Structure 1
Amino acid sequence: MQTVLVTGGAGFIGSHFVKRLLPREDIVQVTVLDALTYAGSVENLGEAFLDPKLDFVEGNILDTDLVDSLIKRHSAVVHFAAESHVDRSFYEAGNFLTTNVLGTRTLLDSATRLGVDKFVHVSTDEVYGPLLTGAADEKAPLRPSVPYAASKAASDLVALSYHQTYGVPVCITRSSNNYGPCQHPEKIIPLFVTRLLKGEPVTLHGHGEHVRNWLHVEDNCAGIELVLRDGAPGEVYNIGGGTDFTSKELTGHLLRLCGADWGSVAYGPDRPSNDLRYSMTWAKIADLGYRPERDLEEGLTETIDWYRRNPDRWAPLMRNPHAALPAVALAPAGEEAHAH
């Protein structure tokens, strides 16, 4: 029987993971620790609050006493909590380093003192940096291009060092770009969808040639659960298997599914350090039994339908989805930040 502490469990991916974990018979308690920043919301957990297994704690992963009080009551930690918006990292690099690196260290220190059976650190394919050809396996060098990716790469290395030095049973997952219901509208898919549903134009960076792999959030969560259960301590697992699209190809699908046309699209200046292509292999997690199941067409249709049916969830955010950024820092509407 497991008790699991999920940091960042009110965020996009974390909330999907919590709702996946709660029905499992061998899970007796799931505690969410979330600071409820702009990207986290208790509404993301919704009906999960009806489950007596769920406990919610509002707090910060940098709070050592709070973290200790929670980790001592749990057999496993799944660590989603992070600053994740690429454009924000250009102007708030200190916040990214503090949360993503020092916050991870706080959790690992507590796990070292108090002991856990498994510590899953959730990361991103962006740590590998751009690959014009080929694909990165788990032993590929880390070459992050932007402060967000650098902060995640640093936290990955810190986590692995705690396994090597202190024996903390750390596993790391690195996924490609996630999409699905409940994602904050600063990310490209919900940003484009919500603008198109309102009859507003969207803007692509550069020539729209940046390649990303798009993985449904439920497939990523399936991979993370598999690593929680069967991953070997000290190992890294890439979670891929989505669909590669240029940003222009992705836009074409969203236009079609939203009933819009290319007259709704403009082109703007490219973002600084906008990596042209990410790519990973995922044979290692496939050996554990991982297989992505969500069809892209079905997944995008379901996602768009969620935004169409739930304007009360995203419309207030669209007053200023980049509220934490200085006005001069606003990116074109085609922001391609990772989904973590």
Structure 2
Amino acid sequence: MKVLITGGAGYIGTELCIKLDKNPRVKEIIVLDNLSRGNYNLFLHSQIKPGKLKFVKAELLDSRSLDKVVKDVDVVYHLAAVNKDDEKLHHLHEQVNNWGTAELTYAIEESHVKQVIYLSSIAVYGDSGQEFTTQSAFEPNTSLGSSKRRGEQHIERIGTKIKTHILRLGEVYGYGASLNMDGVLNSYMFDSHFVGRISVQGNGKQKQSYISLNKTVEILANLLDHELEGGIYNLVDEQKSVLDLIDALKELNPDMEMVFTNNHLELPNHIAKADDALMALYTSPELSFEEELKNFKKHLQTSSL
């Protein structure tokens, strides 16, 4: 089996490469990435043995490179995206998440790909305050959410011909070789450990759906060997408020300071209901939220020695 991972040098992609490297059915892993984040840890710290991993430096909008790399692939993991929720990045959201996904689907249609796994976002639901399911209406109110929904529509279009899984992802947290700080929890973990102080926007009551990096990667990897019906699923786990995060972090770092900004503001919730059929693909021993954070801290401690 030959697997393509777009955005394979990123936070999730690096760990997925490490996981798939251990699968004897996977004979080749092709990583397509533009390295726009300047992250080379996949090549320096993943410990993947030479020979199985192939790297292609290219943009999603480079149709010639896409056609060439997708041609003989069996499975495509489409992780490449601009995921930072910043309206100033509207142009990039459209270029990468929308039109880049469109170019990829055009290439897939002319190939022998048998399965496509696309990482979308719960941002497609908007922030009406309710717990969203995959049957909820789409009300994206950010350029990130809108561009991700358009990306989904491109993948849905080929779903009648190819097995596709669209996974609407919550905020991913946890230690990885290509760790990034885009998410609230990862940045809080870093600041509480190394700075001793975190900055909190709003009153802290806003809730978010979280899922650990380990759980995310195992579920993605197990989709290769599972007959889960194609379709749309929410890839989320814990629902936590910022105040819940603070309580957990104070257990790990009792001397941590907090600075509240605009604490009179009640910021919106972004929560979705997990899909049991998808979560069943996680077969490792279940860890609590607190245990996941303890493991995260151990990695930070080891790395800072």
TM-score, length of structure 2 as denominator length: 0.89
Matched, 1:299 2:304: no
Q: Are residues 301 and 51 of structure 1, via their aligned partners in 2, closer, same or farther at CA, if it must alter by over 3 Å? A: farther
Match of 1:257 among 235, 252, 255: 252
Q: How many aligned residue pairs are there? A: 300
- Which AA in structure 2 matches 1:280? K
Q: Are residues 7 and 289 of structure 1, via their aligned partners in 2, closer, same or farther at CA, if it must alter by over 3 Å? A: closer
Measure, in 2, the Cα distance between the counterparts of 1:260 and 1:193: 13
Deviation (angstroms), 1:190: 2.5
Tell me what 1:192 maps to.
188
Contact 2:126 2:138 in 1 (8 A): yes
Matched, 1:310 2:299: no
Deviation (angstroms), 1:126: 2.1
Q: Are residues 21 and 294 of structure 1, via their aligned partners in 2, closer, same or farther at CA, if it must alter by over 3 Å? A: farther
How do 1:21-100 and structure 2 match up within 5 A?
Answer: 21-38=20-37, 41-44=39-42, 46-87=45-86, 90-100=87-97
Greater mean deviation of Cα atoms: 227-236 or 71-80: 227-236
Unaligned runs of 5+ in 1: 313-340
- Which AA in structure 1 matches 2:137? P
Tell me what 1:145 maps to.
141
How do 1:116-127 and structure 2 match up within 5 A?
Answer: 116-127=113-124
Measure, in 1, the Cα distance between the counterparts of 2:57 and 2:194: 33
After superposition, the C-alpha distances for 1:98-138 in whole angstroms (9 at most, x for unaligned) are 000111111110000123011111112221222534x3332
Tell me what 1:329 maps to.
none
- Which AA in structure 2 matches 1:109? Y
Contact 1:76 1:116 in 2 (8 A): yes
RMSD of aligned alpha carbons? 2.4
How do 1:193-272 and structure 2 match up within 5 A?
Answer: 193-230=189-226, 234-240=230-236, 242-261=237-256, 264-269=257-262
Contact 1:120 1:228 in 2 (8 A): no
Asked which structure has the greater RCO (Cα within 8 Å, sep 6+), the reply is 1
After superposition, the C-alpha distances for 1:179-228 in whole angstroms (9 at most, x for unaligned) are 11133123222322222233353211110111112211111122223334
Tell me what 1:170 maps to.
164
After superposition, the C-alpha distances for 1:51-70 in whole angstroms (9 at most, x for unaligned) are 42111222212111111111
Deviation (angstroms), 1:7: 0.6
Measure, in 2, the Cα distance between the counterparts of 1:71 and 1:176: 28
Contact 1:82 1:100 in 2 (8 A): yes
Deviation (angstroms), 1:273: 11
Secondary structure, in 3 states, of the residue corresponding to 1:122? Answer: strand
- Which AA in structure 2 matches 1:146? T
How do 1:107-118 and structure 2 match up within 5 A?
Answer: 107-118=104-115
Deviation (angstroms), 1:232: 5.6
